[in-house]
Structure 1
Amino acid sequence: MLMTMVNRLPLFLAFLSCALVFSVGSAPADRFCNSGDTRIACSLPSGDYHVRTPDGPGPFPAVVILHSAGETGADIVNDPFYVAMVLGRGFAIVAPTGRPQPYSDGRTATGWHVRKTSTGGRDDAAFITSVIEVAAQRFQLDRKRTLLTGYGNGATLVWELACLSPSTASAYAPMNGGFYEALPGRCRAPVRMFVLHSRRDGFWPLDADDVRVQANRATPVPTRAHLELIQRINGCGTPAAGAGEAPENTTLIGWRGCHSGSDLVFLEQQGTAVLTADIFATVLDWFEPPAPPSRVAPPGVGSVFRRPGEGPTPFGKRPPAQ
């Protein structure tokens, strides 16, 4: 028997070695991060991100926010505005961090590598996809309820992912940003898209007449052309006002007849580019409509309560008096 065990030892060691390799290879790719401690970044081989999740069990809907130039993921998850608006709804916040890169105005700041404007560096589209996949597994996020949003430089990457890698998220909401120089000839699949544009943004044009060509700077493509791009891939009909209750000083337009599962909504802000609570709430309501308030009283509180299947009629019977 001893000889049999000795003979089987190499086989056992080989099995153990394979098991260890499998265990290491299948472990989460990020380390040393905690959704309850926003000071600690989650690390991937290609970069860092921060996460905050609401209390209670998952899976949670997630809002992935791409910061604008000069910010970090830590700035996002520690911003009281986002904490109140996102966590307050029971959604998780995922905030990747861009890498330092030069800008056309001569400064170097954190930002995102995007088409037509950056050379070399990290593939940020692949990085964001990895962040969402890994964070979903580690923090119990619902991949089927994931909103990708961003402002300015972050919005540009949102557009790139929505058009060229549409399965990255289930919905997209770019704010005052988009493609530079030229649009892709065609996006790959219909998407749910909520586009925000501030008339007084001062940089990103709404219409072709607003475009300003400047030396040594990439030229932004007007927001209106982006809307037409999504209208085509989504198969939408004509736009019409009344897509919902518009916040103050805004116009809200929706497109009719889009392909099943897709959507296109445009919110134009008349004032300066400020993301107000009302505007962001409109985006979140569109992404994940809040449950309607219950009109049924709890047992013993009112006569309208019915337990399913009770009583001789479909309405059931009244609860016993208390």
Structure 2
Amino acid sequence: MIRGLAILAAFCLSSAAQAGCNDDGEPCEVDSGTYHIALPENDSATPRPALVFLHGAGGSGRGALRMRTALERGYAVIGPNGLEREGSRFGTGWYFHPDRPKNRDELAFVRSVIADAAARFNIDPSEVLLSGFSIGGSTTSYLACADPSLAKAYAPVAGGFWRPHPEECNGPVKLLHTHGWRDQTVPLEGRPLRGGQIYQGDIFVTLQIWRGENGCDGMRADTFDTDGSFWRRRWDTCQNGALEFALHQGGHGIPPGWSDMALDWFETLD
């Protein structure tokens, strides 16, 4: 997970204006937490689209502000802050699993972050891509499951559902899942943690759940693209939503080119 955070910092350095909620550039506060935000340099009267990015374990929302690709493409970048988690060797994280104790309602928190940013910074709440890495990716998946209308679309990276997998979600989604073929931290098949007390989920079962919610009755993917650095499978004949899976050759990290791929996908959505 630390390697993934380093990759994020390396490819996302930005000189774009970083917006704080006071003169010291401190994070913005909402009822249940804080978030960081960076705005593109162009000053537009038109409400901006936004990439909301949930950090991995041990990270903070400030790291998301270096996402130069999104800023250069005119997106605000919003980095909510996870809470300190007791007993976690990483420190900060998310209370994502519906069956485990919580110190915060993450759905209510992210909803308040989007609403607050829309009011303060001219963000268009109907043009939000919610994404996250590792545990942030898992949180993204669970938020999409709980309330598909929270964001326009979802793009988890290297994180999905945990066991026991959800039996159902609350409706169709527009979702692009990205994962590394060599990921050993969150393997495609999942793995036991804490001596088998908890289990990561199977990403292929995660995709099966989304196919069911989106009405992809044919089950198999319809479109395949193996050009470039991502192997992509897309389900085009579903009744609702949009679903795509992108594999890359690397391990547990955010691969080069991910931002452009995810935003290109987002901009094709109705």
Partner of 2:78: 94
Identity %: 33
1:92 is displaced (CA, Å) by 0.6
Secondary structure, aligned partner of 1:61: strand
1:203-231, Cα deviation, whole Å (9 max, x unpaired):
22323xx6446515410110000001001
Secondary structure, aligned partner of 2:198: coil
1:60 aligns with 2:41: no
1:120-167, Cα deviation, whole Å (9 max, x unpaired):
311112101111112112211111211000001111110111111111
Amino acid corresponding to residue 31 of structure 2 in structure 1: P
Q: 1:190 aligns with which of 169, 172, 192?
A: 172
Amino acid corresponding to residue 138 of structure 1 in structure 2: R
- What TM-score comes out, normalization by structure 2 length? 0.84
1:70 aligns with 2:58: yes
1:280 is displaced (CA, Å) by 2.3
Partner of 2:233: 253
Give the greater-gyration-radius structure (CA): 1
Q: 1:44 aligns with which of 24, 30, 41?
A: 30
The answer (yes or no) to whether the contact 1:240–1:254 under 8 Å persists in 2 is: yes
Extract unaligned runs of 5+ from structure 2: 1-19
Greater alpha carbon shift after TM alignment, 250-259 vs 190-199: 250-259
**Aligned-partner Cα distance in 2 for 1:159–1:92:** 21
1:94 is displaced (CA, Å) by 0.9
Partner of 2:253: 274
**Aligned-partner Cα distance in 2 for 1:274–1:211:** 17
The answer (yes or no) to whether the contact 1:39–1:74 under 8 Å persists in 2 is: no
Partner of 2:11: none
1:123 aligns with 2:110: no
1:276 is displaced (CA, Å) by 3.1
- What TM-score comes out, normalization by structure 1 length? 0.71
**Aligned-partner Cα distance in 2 for 1:70–1:213:** 17
1:190 is displaced (CA, Å) by 0.8
1:116 is displaced (CA, Å) by 5.2
> What are the equivalent positions in structure 2 for 1:155-234 lying under 5 Å apart?
155-207=137-189, 211-212=191-192, 215=195, 217-234=197-214
Secondary structure, aligned partner of 2:149: helix
1:270 is displaced (CA, Å) by 2.0
Partner of 1:284: 263
Q: State the structure with bigger RCO (CA 8 A, min sep 6), 1 or 2.
A: 2
1:108 is displaced (CA, Å) by 5.0
Amino acid corresponding to residue 258 of structure 2 in structure 1: I
Q: 1:59 to 1:222 in 2, by over 3 A?
A: same
1:180 is displaced (CA, Å) by 1.8
1:181 is displaced (CA, Å) by 1.9
Partner of 2:243: 264
**Aligned-partner Cα distance in 1 for 2:152–2:71:** 19
1:170-211, Cα deviation, whole Å (9 max, x unpaired):
00011111222212211111110000111211122323xx64
The answer (yes or no) to whether the contact 2:84–2:93 under 8 Å persists in 1 is: yes
Q: How many residue pairs align between the two structures?
A: 246
The answer (yes or no) to whether the contact 2:57–2:90 under 8 Å persists in 1 is: no
1:21-78, Cα deviation, whole Å (9 max, x unpaired):
xxxxxxxxxxx706xx78321011211001112222231111000000111112221x
**Aligned-partner Cα distance in 1 for 2:113–2:227:** 33
Q: Report the aligned-residue RMSD.
A: 2.2
Secondary structure, aligned partner of 2:126: strand
Partner of 2:5: none
The answer (yes or no) to whether the contact 1:200–1:271 under 8 Å persists in 2 is: yes
> What are the equivalent positions in structure 2 for 1:285-304 lying under 5 Å apart?
285-289=264-268
Secondary structure, aligned partner of 1:90: coil
Secondary structure, aligned partner of 1:275: coil
